[in-house]
Chain A
Amino acid sequence: MPALRMPRPRMLALGLAALAGMAGAAEAGAHRIYVANEYDASISVIDPESGETLDTIGISGRPGEVRPRGMAVSPDGRTIYVAVSDFLPGRQSPEDAIVAIDTATNRVLRRYRAGGNPERVAISPDGTQLWAALEATAQVVGIDTATGAEIGKFQTGVETEGVAVSPDGRHVLVTAETSHTVTMVDARARKVLTHLLVGNRPRDVVFSPDGARAYVSAEIGGTVSVIDVAARKVVDTISLGLDSRPVELNLDPSGGRLYVAGGGTSAVYVIDTARAEVVEVIRERMGRRPWGLSVSPGGERIYTANGLSDSVSVIGADCLCVLDQFAAGRGAHSVEVGVVDAR
């Protein structure tokens, strides 16, 4: 599939330094963009330099019935985990799985049975645990990546969605859309620590690099809640506007900037985390309804998966402007960056 051709500044070649922020990433690696296409039941593999679609990985032969949504990338960047489910959020089916894709071959390595309509997935920093938000059963489940065995399953609010594992691997945070809560799980003790009230319809959650803070987007509230992880409290709420409908969010490698996809305004909000303020709103040339958002390993690029444009917007961190648009599949939901060995 050809890239959408638009005038753009020359993209910088990403050298070794750009990958240094990715723990355990192969030194000789180059990165690829992986986009979960909700309505095509596929994953687009895109070259970040040319925007060319290098491969399209079929997740199911039943597009429109089976959908890939949230994704996570392994610490070494070489495995992409995809939350796959059907379109019937109240039903558990064999399609409810976490699919692991090998970035070297673009083949499915393994399917982890998850149950409960998994919507988003996270991986522990050591790569040994998968955590999936089970929308249908209002639970979060931990899965051993080596054996596929269930580590634990914990109750959340109704319509579980976002999930994140802390950098030290101890805490798992899970959002629930109808209870407006974040559930904090102790992954070592395997117990629920607390439930925190955040903004209306929380979608995604991400930890700061040092694990001290976590940030939660609230789609209907139009806010980002800031959680003090040690204190287990919401310590700040950043308003993006009622119409912003923020969904995925991610930090740059330093943790100084938080990028938030604004699905309602087709914008990306840039938050200075030290000031807890929106410092820039990127609107010009953005794709429609950005839903997924990822940051390149070195922090130079921000990628958004645009559900109404079936595209990926490429944003430069220096200019905070849209540099390019790449074509993706139908209903681009999430975007992640994986590593492939240099050939």
Chain B
Amino acid sequence: MARISDPTRRAFLAGTGAAALMPLASALRAGTPAAENVLRIGATLPIAGAALPEGAVNLRSVGEAARMGLALAEEDAALNAGLLGWSPELAIGNAPGAGAVARAARRLVAREQVSVLIGGYTTEEAEILSAIAEESGALFLNVGATSDLARSGPCRANTFHVEASAAMYVDAILGWHVRAGFRRWHFVHDETAEGEARRARAAAGLEDRYWGAEVVGASVARRGETRDTAAVLDAIRESRSDVVFLLTDWQAQRDFLSHYEAAGLTAAVVGFPEPAAQTRDYYFTLSQVAPAAGAGYRAALWEPTLDAYGARELNTRFAARWGAPMDPAAWSAYQAVKIAMEAAIATGSARGEDLARHLAREESVFDVSKGIGVSFRPWDHQLRQPLYLVKVNPDASPSRELPALAARASLAGELPAIYMPGTEPVERLDQLGDIRRSGECRA
């Protein structure tokens, strides 16, 4: 069971203990041989506390999903790695906000002696964890920050990204929609560096790869500025776009969609899928605030209704363990533990630098239940992987029962397609994201 750092230990333990254990966990613990080697893993999660910034309130469900993914990963790793003489020790720090992330991470490294850090739910958090990993020699696995800015520039040798990059999500969304006939694009972004970077990447994607499509408009929407929203709606109407791409954060997407629906605009809308915009709860919110415009297609890192490649088994184990679908944030946290544990077994070492060197090798291939062996790109340490297209259910139910939660969205597609005999699998995966070797890590 995960050990929890102060100050919310009691709350974490209560949450974990409430869930019914599936037969597997108990069956396995009884027969697991005593481990000779221990891998200490620390995670910083934005779960609770008054310090959680207002704008990050939706990260609670992301943090909770990640906590459940980590717990299942620890249980699976206790069995799997236990067969080979290894065991995981997981410590979770509640870290609502960047300052708390820094304090929690330093505490995890110093007190708990973790050699693996998992977290990064904003760009700022990812930067902090990355810097602490470089200082301490720990391995940092980013499971939530999509920023391309965090993936370019000087090499952070100990930082690896399980979360997909913004460029990967943008490419997936452009590819799906252009092939479906959406050619006239209107971008809506915020005025942050991140928002501008997403817009630039989307525009470049259309220009470089999809000559039949064009940008017919781009608008800046400042959060909470309703006058901006009215102007943006006018601009969209005038641009006669057939698809609107919201490159803003989850909150601005939600608010904009409610105005968009009320304005009676009919162009399709697709939103940038940051982790907080990939949860079942968020999909339900969209179906409520904008039953037409909010119930479109979205990109996702993982989909709990995915039913192939061993995904069925993983999704089922998670659902049985927690009574909830495996949201993408749970999947990325789960895989981070699995990848770290497998690196430890492969290298025979729990040292962060050794694990990082193993992950950077092109030959180090991991099974993340997506039906194809995946690896980290040597130049920017981004995990190559397929993404999914999901359709939000406009008739989603508020019920918290598992089938109702699962039915809030459904799987519509996969990119790139996994079953493509005759093509080179790594090249296939590299079709998503920036394949210019912009990162400065050495292959």
Which residues of A come within 8 Å of B, CB atoms? 87-92, 135-139, 154-159, 176-181, 183, 195, 197, 200-201, 220-222, 242-243, 245, 264-267, 283, 289, 308
Contacts and interface: CB of A to CB of B under 8 A. Distances in A.
7 contacts: A89-B313, A89-B317, A138-B27, A138-B28, A178-B80, A195-B84, A308-B419
Contacts of A222: 373
Nearest to B80: A179
A138 to B, nearest CB: 6
Contacts of A88: 316
B4 to A, nearest CB: 24
B373 A200 contact: yes
A90 B365 contact: no
B310 A201 contact: yes
Nearest to B321: A90
Kindly state the interface size class of chain B when it binds its partner: 35 or more
Interface in B25-53: 27-28, 30-32
A89 B421 contact: no
Given A201-B310, A242-B373, A266 B80 contact: no
Contacts of B422: 265
Interface in B153-211: none
Contacts of A178: 76, 80, 310, 338, 367
Contacts of B27: 137-139, 155
Contacts of A267: 421
A179 B320 contact: no
A178 B76 CA distance: 9
A161 B317 CA distance: 16
Nearest to B423: A243
Nearest to B369: A178
B79 A158 contact: yes
Given A90-B319, A221-B373, A135 B313 contact: yes
Nearest to A139: B27
B80 A181 contact: yes
B365 A242 contact: yes
B196 to A, nearest CB: 37
Given A158-B79, A178-B80, A264-B419, A92 B310 contact: no
B134 to A, nearest CB: 29
B76 A197 contact: no
B19 interface: no
Given A137-B27, A221-B365, 16 more contacts: A89-B317, A136-B24, A138-B79, A154-B31, A156-B83, A157-B79, A158-B76, A158-B80, A176-B80, A177-B367, A179-B81, A221-B373, A243-B423, A245-B372, A265-B422, A283-B421
Contact of B372 (A139, A159, A220, A289): A220
